[in-house]
Every structure is written in C-alpha cells, then in structure tokens.
Amino acid sequence: MSIKPLVAPVALVVVAAFAVPASAGNKLVPAGQRIAVAKSAMTVQPGTEWNKLSERPGRKAETWTQDGDELNDLTFYGGIESGKPLFREVDRKNQPLPKVSATMLITDIPVLLENSYRIALGAASVRIDTIEPIPFAGAKGVHFTYTFSKQNETLQRRGDARGAIIGGKLYLVTYEAPSLYYYDRSAAAARVVADSVQF
Amino acid sequence: MGASDDIGGIMLKSCRALLAALSLSLAVAAPAYAQEKTGAKPGFSLMPGTARIVLMRPSIRVGAQSTGGMYEPNADWTDQARENIAAALAKAQTGLGNSVVAYAEPLGADGAKVAEYRELFGAVASSVIEYQFFKGNRLPTKKRKDQFEWGLGPDVRALPGLDTADYALFITTEDHFGSTGRKVLQVFAAMARIPVAAGVHKGFAGLVDLRTGDLVWLNADMQMGGDVRDAEGADKRVRQLLEGFPGKPVEASVVSAPAIAASPAIASAH
Amino acid sequence: MRNPLPALVPAFLLAAAMGTAAIAADKRPPLPTYTQAYTPTTVDERGLWMEADERERVQRESRSLVKDPALNAYVRGVLCRTVGEDRCRSVRLYIDEVPAFNAFMTPNGAMVVWTGLLLRVRSEAELGAILGHEFGHFELRHSLKDFRSHRIGTDLMAWASILVRNSGNLQYAMVGQMYAFSRDQEREADMTGFQYLARSQYPSSAAADVWVNVMGEADATAIGRKGRAQHKYVAGVFATHPTDLARATYLRAAAIEAHDVKPAVVDTHQAAMAKWLPIFLNDQIKLNDFGGSEYLLANLAGAGGWTTPLLCARGDLYRERGNPRDLVSAAQFYQEAIARGDAPPEAYRGLGLSLLRSQQLAEGRAALVDYLRLQPAAPDAALIATLVAQ
C-alpha cells in the first residue's frame, strides 16, 4: 500500500520542497531465507531479493519493494484486530477508514480494501476485478485482483491480494504496481512470497 | 484553487496546516543533504552515427516568486523558455551528430496512453531520486556499484511516432525567479539569521532507449543555473540538464560549470 | 475588503418596501458584463490561464472522467438553461467521478462537476443553482482576485515573521483576512448565481434548498460519527465559505423578494440520472459515512419514493456497517427491493450475506443460491459457492 497522505492543496502556496523521508534505513531481504513479517507470527520465504522499507503503512504492516513503492509494492498486514483500520488513517475525524470486524465474512475482505482505498485516494476509480477462494496458510482464504488510479491520474495500477480472517484478525498480502511494465515484471517474485505464507 | 475551487462550506482549513505550509515556503533554502544528481546505465553509449532522439513534450514552468514565497506563473517567460530550451537542445545535440525532433502528441486513446507513460516516467524518475540518488533512503538492492537498472519497458516503442526513433528524451524544468520583494526580504532575513531562499530553479532530464525501454540516463538537479528566459541562459541550462549524458560528453567543448558551485549565483542573478 | 452583501440585501428590502409585486427586470442587480471569447490580459491572469491550460491537459485524460454523452448533454443543458446560451457555449465541461459535493470552474473556462454533486441535487433547478454559482466565480474572475489576495497576505506574513517578534497573532490575523476575502467572494458568487437562476426558467428558491440539504447532511454525518451536529451559525476565522446556514438564509430571503412565479417545467433530472444512480450510490456507500449516506438516501427517497436502487444501496450501507441490528435492517431492505420485482441479482447476494452474518444460515444460503442461479457468471461466484457449501 503506497498511498501517501493526500495533502490538501493549501491555497496557492505551492511548496517546492523536496520530500525528505523522516526516517531512513531500508533493509535488504535476502533470497531463500524464511523471515517473519509485519510484527506477526506470519512468515514468508522470498525467492528473490527485496527491500524492506523503514516506513510502515500501519503498526502491524510492512512494505517490501524492488524499485520503490510507487513502482512495486508488496505489503503484509499481520493480523489487524477488530476495530482497527487496514492502514494508518490520515484524517481520523473527517475521513475515517472502515474497520476490521471479527465477524467479517471472507467476502468482506475485498470490500474493506476497496473502501479503504477509495477514501484514502479520494477517487472512485478502484475496481475489484476477480475474486476466488483459495487456501491461505491452511485457512479458508480469498484471492482477488483489482485496479485503481489516484485522483487526477491516468497511470493505472494493478493489485493482487490474498488473505483470510484467522482467529478474528485480518491477515493480508497485497502486491501492487503500475499496469504498464512494472506489474508483470515483479508479479512472479511477489507470487512466490505470497504462496510461501506460513504461521 | 481559491475562489472557484469548492462550494461545500464544510471545508475548513486548519490554521496550523496553513502556517506550517507558509513557514515551509520560507525555509526552502535547501539543506545540503547527501544527494547524487546523475545516474547512467553502466557501459551504455549512444548508438554510433546519428541517433534519432524524440523530445517528449517538456514540462516547463517559469514564473516569479512573490515576497511570501508564492509561485506566480508567467506565460510569456514560459513561452520564451520553451523556445529557448528547444533551440539550445537542438544545438547541443546536432553538435554531437544527433537529431532532436519534438514529439507530435497523438489525440484520443493514444493521447491517454502517452499521458500514462509520461506519468510512469515521473514515477520512475522520483523513485530513482528517492531510492537511489538520495543516500539516506537508498534501497539496499540499488546500492551496488555501477548499478542503474530502471526503465519504462519495451512497449513504450509502441506509442505512435516512436517506432522509428532511437531514444525518447524527457525534460522537466521549474523556475521561480525571486521577485525584488523576495530578495529584499532575504537580506533582512539574513540579518535576523533566518534562512530564506530566493528563487527555485530545478529540473530533471532522462533518456529512454526505445529499443529496450531502459532508462539509460537520468539527471536531476534541484539548484540549476542558466536563465531560461534568454537564449544564452537556456544554453547553460541545457548543458547542466544534459550533464552526464551518455556518449560523448556534452560539456566537452564548454568550460565545465558544476551546478552546485553555480547555484548561489543564480539566486542573485535575478 | 468590504462585504458586498450588505449592499445587496438592502436593495432587495427596498424593492419589497416599495410594494412592487413584480420587480421590474431593470431594477434587478445587473449581471456581470458578458464578453465573448475573453482573453486574459495582465501578467497574473495570463499566468493563471497557462497553469489552468496545463491542468486541463491532465484532467482531459483522467481515468475518473465520466464520458457518457447523455449525462454530459444533460449537465450542459442545465448550465445553458441557467446562464443562457451565449454564456454556456464556450464552457468545456468535465464530469469527474468523485463522490463528494463539489463543482468548480477553472480560470480558463472549464467547468468540472463531481458526481457527488449530481447525486445530491434533486432537480434541474438545484443543479442550475450550483452551476450558476460556479459560473459566477468564473465571470467575476474570482481566481485572479483570490490569487492577488493571497499574494498580499503571504507577503505581509513573510515580513511579519522576520520583522516582528512573536508574530504569531499578527500572522493569524492576516490568514483570517485572506479567508474573509474568500467568504466575500462566495457571497458575491452566490448572489450572481442567484441572478442567473432568477432570470432562467427555474424557480430561484432552489438555491436555498441546496444549502438546507447540505446542512442536513453535514449534521447527519457528524451525528453518525458519534459527534455532535456541527453546523455553525457564524463562519470561523478560517472558513473559506460563509456558513451554510447564512447562505440558505440570504438566498431564501432573495428568493422571497424575487418571488418569481414561473410555469412549472418537466424536470428531467431523475430520468437523466437513472442509468448512473446505482453507480453513484455505490460510490457514496463506500465512503464509510453512515449518517451522511443515510440522510442522502432518505432525501432522494423523499423526492421519488424508496425505489429499488435506493433500497439496495441502503441494504449495502447497513450491511457494510455490520452491527447486529444493522444486519437485520439490511436484510429487510433487500427483501423490500426484491418484493418490488425489479431487483438486480446483487440484492439476493446482499440478502444472503446479511442473513449469514446474522447466523440465519439456511435462509442466507438459500438467498445466495438464488444469486448464483440469477448470475452464474458473477466474478465472485466461486467464493460465494464456498459460503453456500459450508
């Protein structure tokens, strides 16, 4: 999930400052080693190298990338509890995100992602394309694909997600990249990681 | 934005956000954090003979900077800059035996595709700058020596008009010339030991190999020289924009003008 | 920066006091002078137009643009009938699928209408009121004036921050001044928009109706988010717009004074929206704004009854919030929609999922079986089948 806060255009004062990340220290994720992700019991085993970004989308989430999160973004949500949003809320008061519920059905997982993105991106162009049942780390899970673009952007992004509600918590792995070139480029590597999820 | 932007009376903007934005606009005196400016695919050189380079519609914004730091777009300056930069570019490249042709943008569905590739280039360029040039945030897999692996993919060649060309050149420049008021403010601010930058002069340029879709060179400079409003300045700007351009070094015939050393001079040049 | 409103209101009151039954056309405040093919002249204005041209290049290719020729023709028709054929002819119209109440005109004459606006107005006249207001901003060159106001404000603030020790309060006052300027412009555009409406075939009372509904929805949103109704009686220092209450009040007063009695015309709003209503409702339901969405649905139902799309949307709204009592209500709404005989297969899906979450397993599965029978090739058929089999 690489949705950066949508900064409200403050009048005409366009600040041309360059984005300086608050914290640094992106770490190498080596190929072939099983590793715990998103501060959870969920582990994965990548087949290729990835970079783990120091900036997390939420407390129980982490993002891996190969070329930067705008170009390929593999995010793990490691057990989002009932009552919590999928990722950090930018404006809790005026734009609250939908919350995970322990009684969610498996069909509600794509809806949660879709609605969270619609609110965070300020755009209606988020579409779930396919949905199918899959086993996810031994549980009954869902695999879905989606497309979206940010408000006022032409660049389309594709997403592929798989997840399940396990013990009343949401576990989800998403892979996203621009449809042009980048999606296909890392899709296989991302699939290896998503297929390797264990607890 | 402003008056015509929204009708919902619900939109209240917090004072803090606005003040924060304003104080930021005062403090754009860029801190000197470790930042590389140029990257090129190792071992790459331009095709021998005449390379046909298509110049994608450049994004050029030229205006003034008000005392308070606000950008005041100027249509005449922008038009001049467009002409000057195109001329300077053609001159620089024909000197190397290459041809530069402005891209004729298609309409309709193809136009949307071109727009999408333009945004993809923007996303790639920001990634290169944030995750490779900027050392503090560099990705471990991009740290290796002599590595520069970025691109738009080979399908970019399928855009109408690009199938017969060798390279696509993307150029973005933005200039906010400090107004007199801004410069006076800067002087007073200096006395009060408050850093205030006058002027914004930044740009980046990238070259895409249309046979492979690879980004073979990218140059990004947040403090550029050369007044794009006149021909001579545009020559200088283009020399800086093309720094590190693969193949024969563009600056070879010119006294090399390192951008960083030149930048303080620009701030006061206007 | 004097408020133009006090100058306008006494004019209306005076006209009323004179007891003129029909205010003669020439006594009405004049419209701004119309200039065909206006071209910007000053440096500032030419710069703003250039920026707007560049943004329009992006807008034109936006993926969220609604290109449906019929819907575009409808919105343009309302604009033309409000501001007049000559004025509307040169406007480029962009309908953007964004589920919020907004429309704006760029300095170079493009009008951008968000679909959230189309969903919220209930008649051509209400739509015309908003489009007229936005056109008013354009014709009065408000972007330019606002740009200059901000430049003066930020210049002074920059000086204050350097020359005045602890200039916080002073800066606060200057920002407040800029916002007050915005509010004045809004009032001016409100009254100009009102003048277009008064001269059109539409009842001028529609302008106030829109703001009454916006207030109602804002309150409902706040209450739905466990807050208090927030509607304000006085615009804060940092409000860019007058309060909705103030707008409703002065526009209502103006409508009473104008008391235009016009022959009723066939309103095509519902018909023009029919195809898009389920889509725009879906966009709204997904905003996680229970109170506001519920208000909006009730408001739409108030105009044309609880139709099948409204019932299905209400079912989705309650089901997605998903409290136990919500699931019971959701099931009822879907059942009502189904009983009307023209429900889409998704109504059975919603019904089945609501019942399953309420632990009414047999009934829930039966409804999902109906869904799969009606829509065997649904994208989620395989997943729904796993719920039926459990």
Task: Check pLDDT > 50 for residue B47.
Answer: yes
Give C-chain residues touching B25 at CB under 8 angstroms.
Answer: 154
Check residue B206 and give its pLDDT. Answer: 94
Identify whether B143 is part of a domain. yes
Task: Check pLDDT > 70 for residue A51.
Answer: yes
pLDDT digits (tens, 9 = 90+) for C281-297: 999 999 999 999 999 99
Contact partners for chain B, using 3 or more CB pairs closer than 8 A, are: A, C
Chain B residue with CA closest to C247: the answer is B9
Task: Give the C-alpha separation, A178 to A169, whole Å.
Answer: 29
Task: Check pLDDT > 90 for residue C253.
Answer: no
- Higher per-residue confidence, C119 vs B93: C119
Identify whether B131 is part of a domain. yes
Chain B residue with CA closest to C116: the answer is B8
Share above pLDDT 90 across residues of chain B, in percent, rounded to a whole number: 35
Task: Check pLDDT > 80 for residue A90.
Answer: yes
Give C-chain residues touching A132 at CB under 8 angstroms.
Answer: 382-383
Chain A CB within 8 Å of residue B139 CB: yes
Check residue A109 and give its pLDDT. Answer: 96
Check residue C114 and give its pLDDT. Answer: 93
Q: Any idea which residue has 């949401």 for tokens?
A: A170
Chain A CB within 8 Å of residue B108 CB: no
Q: Which backbone phi and psi does B94 adopt, to 5 degrees?
A: -65, -30
pLDDT digits (tens, 9 = 90+) for A96-153: 999 998 888 999 999 999 999 999 988 778 999 999 999 998 899 999 999 999 877 8
B78 contacts: CB under 8 Å, gap ≥ 6? B60, B61, B62, B63, C50
Quick count: other Cβ atoms within 10 Å of Cβ C6? 10
Indicate the pLDDT class of residue C317, thresholds 50, 70 and 90: very high
Chain B CB within 8 Å of residue C118 CB: no
Identify whether B252 is part of a domain. yes
Chains A–C, number of C-beta pairs less than 8 Å apart: 88
Chain A CB within 8 Å of residue B68 CB: yes
Domain ranges of chain A: 27-195
- Higher per-residue confidence, C2 vs C35: C35
Chain A CB within 8 Å of residue B28 CB: yes
CB contact under 8 A, C247 and B78: no
pLDDT digits (tens, 9 = 90+) for A12-49: 222 333 344 444 589 999 999 999 999 999 999 999 99
Indicate the pLDDT class of residue C306, thresholds 50, 70 and 90: very high
Judge whether B211 and B157 are in contact, CB under 8 Å: yes
- Higher per-residue confidence, B137 vs C370: C370
Judge whether A26 and A54 are in contact, CB under 8 Å: yes
Mean pLDDT, range B209-228, rounded to an integer: 91
Mean pLDDT, range A185-196, rounded to an integer: 96
Chain B residue with CA closest to C210: the answer is B8
Give C-chain residues touching A180 at CB under 8 angstroms.
Answer: none
Task: Check pLDDT > 50 for residue A5.
Answer: no
Give B-chain residues touching A153 at CB under 8 angstroms.
Answer: 119
Share above pLDDT 70 across residues of chain C, in percent, rounded to a whole number: 87
Task: Give the C-alpha separation, A108 to C321, whole Å.
Answer: 11
CATH class for domain A27-195? alpha beta
Mean pLDDT, range C341-363, rounded to an integer: 95
Tokens of B189: 């601010």
Give B-chain residues touching A155 at CB under 8 angstroms.
Answer: 116, 119-120, 123
Give the lowest-confidence range in A57-71, C11-25, C280-294.
C11-25
- For B116, the domain range is 34-269
Check residue C189 and give its pLDDT. Answer: 82
- Point out which residues pair with B214 in neighbouring strands: B151
CB contact under 8 A, B11 and C151: no
Closest CA relative to residue C370, chosen from C343, C348, C346, C337: C348
Give the lowest-confidence range in A59-73, B102-116, B190-204.
B190-204
- Higher per-residue confidence, C149 vs A162: A162
Chain A CB within 8 Å of residue C322 CB: yes
Quick count: other Cβ atoms within 10 Å of Cβ B68? 25
Task: Give the C-alpha separation, B116 to B125, whole Å.
Answer: 14
Tokens of C67: 């290109």
- Chain B residues with at least one Cβ partner in C under 8 Å: 2-15, 18-19, 22-23, 25-26, 61, 63, 66-70, 72-76, 78, 111-112, 115-116, 181, 185, 188-189, 192, 194, 196
Q: Any idea which residue has 């945004």 for tokens?
A: B119
Check residue C42 and give its pLDDT. Answer: 87
- Higher per-residue confidence, B5 vs C301: C301
Check residue C228 and give its pLDDT. Answer: 61
Task: Check pLDDT > 50 for residue C386.
Answer: yes
Give the lowest-confidence range in A48-57, B9-18, C33-42, C321-330.
B9-18
Give A-chain residues touching C346 at CB under 8 angstroms.
Answer: none
Check residue A164 and give its pLDDT. Answer: 95
Contact partners for chain A, using 3 or more CB pairs closer than 8 A, are: B, C
- Higher per-residue confidence, C36 vs B2: C36
Chains B–C, number of C-beta pairs less than 8 Å apart: 141
Give the lowest-confidence range in B11-20, B57-66, B67-76, C156-165.
B11-20
Tokens of C303: 């105009």
Closest CA relative to residue A188, chosen from A29, A47, A82, A40: A47
Of A9, A19, A156, nearest to B130 by CB-CB distance is: A19
Check residue C257 and give its pLDDT. Answer: 80
Angle, alpha carbons C207-C246-C168 (nearest 5°): 130
Closest CA relative to residue B135, chosen from B50, B229, B39, B217: B39
Task: Give the C-alpha separation, C389 to C85, whole Å.
Answer: 61
Check residue A16 and give its pLDDT. Answer: 31
Give C-chain residues touching B112 at CB under 8 angstroms.
Answer: 61
CB contact under 8 A, C286 and A118: yes
Mean pLDDT, range B35-62, rounded to an integer: 84
Check residue A19 and give its pLDDT. Answer: 42
Domain count, chain B: 1
Chain A residue with CA closest to B150: the answer is A67
Check residue C236 and give its pLDDT. Answer: 64
Of C287, C353, C380, nearest to A131 by CB-CB distance is: C380
Indicate the pLDDT class of residue B270, thresholds 50, 70 and 90: very low
Predicted ipTM of the assembly:
0.86
In the predicted model, what is the mean pLDDT of chain A? 87
Judge whether C110 and C135 are in contact, CB under 8 Å: no
List of domains in chain C: 5-140+185-258 (3.30.2010.10), 275-389 (1.25.40.10)
Check residue C19 and give its pLDDT. Answer: 38
B198 contacts: CB under 8 Å, gap ≥ 6? B65, B178, B182, B183, B185, B186, B267, B268
Task: Check pLDDT > 90 for residue A50.
Answer: yes
Indicate the pLDDT class of residue A88, thresholds 50, 70 and 90: very high
Chain A CB within 8 Å of residue C356 CB: yes
pLDDT digits (tens, 9 = 90+) for C149-185: 788 878 887 777 777 766 677 777 777 777 777 777 8
Chain B CB within 8 Å of residue A124 CB: no
Indicate the pLDDT class of residue A56, thresholds 50, 70 and 90: very high
Task: Check pLDDT > 60 for residue B267.
Answer: no
Tokens of C78: 């309302």
Task: Give the C-alpha separation, B46 to B207, whole Å.
Answer: 10
Check residue C40 and give its pLDDT. Answer: 84
On the 0-12 / 13-18 / 19+ scale of CB atoms within 10 A, C33 is exposed
C283 contacts: CB under 8 Å, gap ≥ 6? A118, A124, C97, C99, C115, C116, C119
CB contact under 8 A, A154 and B153: no
pLDDT digits (tens, 9 = 90+) for C191-233: 888 888 888 889 888 888 888 888 888 888 888 876 666 556 5
* CA-to-CA dists, residue A35 to A38, A46, A68, C176, angstroms: 10, 8, 21, 53
